[in-house]
Structure 1
Amino acid sequence: MLHEFSRTEMLIGTEGLNKLKQSTVAVFGVGGVGTFVVEGLVRSGVGGFVLVDDDCVCLTNINRQIHATRKTIGRPKVEVMKERILEINPKAGVEVYQELYTAESADKLLSAGYSYVVDAIDMVTAKLDLIERCFKMNIPIISSMGAGNKLNPTQFEAADIFDTSVCPLARVIRRELRKRGITALKVVYSKEPPIQPLQTGGDCSTDCICPNKGMNRSCADRRSIPGSVSFVPSVAGLIIASEVVKDIIAR
């Protein structure tokens, strides 16, 4: 009998599809990269999701984040993405946390029961804490490196962090992981040198246009806001989704 994942089943088999249905993937960071990770996973048949992001949809997200529309501006990203998941697969289990991942919130947000963790976090300290904890807890994890200030989506690839080059974020993560004794980490990164963004006026710390601008906003704490485009973080996110799917069905 035909079903919503019949075409996927033709490629990965019934056993592979069942593995995906029985898995739970936690996505930390539901933005430009993270939304397309989730999109790729739910359309592949992953049955369980945990979404973690403290932010709400902003007008400036519309250029690249799949949950961002005029109707969703001002709403929590995790809630909007949950609705999208359930519109695609009503049988999926979805748990959401509108919280910022930090070392203090880790015990609440991280579980040994996750089949896979996706790190699509922007903050270096949070990325490193999540990576280190996953290694200690033996949870498979894949981490997104820099996707901002880039225009060429064909330069993305999956690799071990210690085989990466060019990406400034990957360089920082490599150095810090060595200090922590972590010798391997799957990442998706770009070999494209970062582009210097044009100064077109305005930034999130002084010129916020969000309906929730009176709230605490981590986006306003950044020292610089990267340029972005629709076809770069989306590709990174879909590559990550493909790696997660392949790893789960290979077990």
Structure 2
Amino acid sequence: MSWLERTELLVQKEGIERLQNANILVVGLGGVGSYAAEFIARAGVGKMTIVDGDVFDETNINRQLPALQSTVGKAKTKVLSERLKDINPDLELTVLKEFLSPERAYEIVSKEFDYVLDCIDSITPKINLIVAARRKKVKIISSMGAGGKLDATKIRVKDIGKTKNCTMARVLRKRLKERKVDKGVKAVYSEEVQIPASVKITDGTNFKKSYYGTISYMPAAFGLQAAAHVVNFLIKK
């Protein structure tokens, strides 16, 4: 495929074949997941499943790739699936418009996936997805909190047990330990201390008790790091 010519120059024919034979699961298509899914599609991955039950809201426009005035109110899965197929018409794409319950997380995660990208932004569904992946021995990379931060140079990819200065990672570590999961989960996180004044308390809808203000590029940078980690794993597999 000529559109992958530049990629093939870099990763060689073997790398392209590995990418085309790969199968990736992306859960959560917000600021992190929308960018991660697109980077993976543009790298030439052959099969992908995308999962999200949400629609675009005006507040998403500052940081989510397909969030535009024209897409407000539309399902994230529909908008992103059309975009991904427009990038690569040969992409085998499975689209699941749903929020993950614990049971569905366990059903959806399977050995057929080479990697799972957890781009969910609320704790309980993240726990369910991570535990499902670890129980089934499927590789997973999980995005921590991109909110309340401005310095993109402080983003790291490490085992979740080695993260620091991340409120979400700290809560996740504690909850995962209760489920006997304390290692084997790659995390994308930032070592920058969150800006305290940027937090807002909510009514707890959609598993969220609070959220931080977010700048345009930080979730994208998290998505980039997650996608880069997965693509590098695939080409060296």
TM over 0.5: yes
Instruction: Output the TM-score relative to the length of structure 2.
Output: 0.92
How far apart, CA to CA, are the structure 1 residues paired with 2:212 and 2:31?
12
Query: Is 1:227 the equivalent of 2:226?
Result: no
Q: Name the aligned partner's letter for residue 17 of structure 1.
A: I
Equivalence map 1:114-133=2 (5 Å): 114-133=113-132
Which 4+ runs in 1 deviate beyond 6 A?
Answer: none
**Offset of residue 138 of structure 1:** 1.5
Identity %: 37
Corresponding residue of 1:245: 231
Q: Name the aligned partner's letter for residue 184 of structure 2.
A: A
Equivalence map 1:193-232=2 (5 Å): 193-198=193-198, 218=206, 222-232=208-218
Say how many residue pairs are matched.
Answer: 235
Corresponding residue of 1:145: 144
SS at match of 1:6: helix
5+ residue gaps in structure 2? none
Equivalence map 1:37-52=2 (5 Å): 37-52=36-51
Cα RMSD between the aligned structures? 1.9
5+ residue gaps in structure 1? 206-216
Aligned residues of 1:101 and 1:109 also touching (Cα < 8 A): no
Q: How big is each residue's C-alpha offset from its partner over 1:128-168, in whole Å with a ceiling of 9 and x where there is no partner?
A: 12111111111111000111111111110111111111111
**Offset of residue 13 of structure 1:** 1.2
**Offset of residue 171 of structure 1:** 1.3
Q: Cα 1:204–1:84, aligned 2, differ >3 Å: closer, same or farther?
A: farther
**Offset of residue 95 of structure 1:** 0.9
Corresponding residue of 1:209: none
Instruction: Output the TM-score relative to the length of structure 1.
Output: 0.88
- Structure with a larger share of its residues in helix: 2
**Offset of residue 225 of structure 1:** 3.1
Q: Name the aligned partner's letter for residue 61 of structure 1.
A: N
**Offset of residue 73 of structure 1:** 0.9
Q: Cα 1:226–1:12, aligned 2, differ >3 Å: closer, same or farther?
A: same
Q: How big is each residue's C-alpha offset from its partner over 1:56-98, in whole Å with a ceiling of 9 and x where there is no partner?
A: 0111111110011111111100111101101111110111111
Aligned residues of 1:63 and 1:229 also touching (Cα < 8 A): yes
Corresponding residue of 1:136: 135
Q: Name the aligned partner's letter for residue 238 of structure 1.
A: L
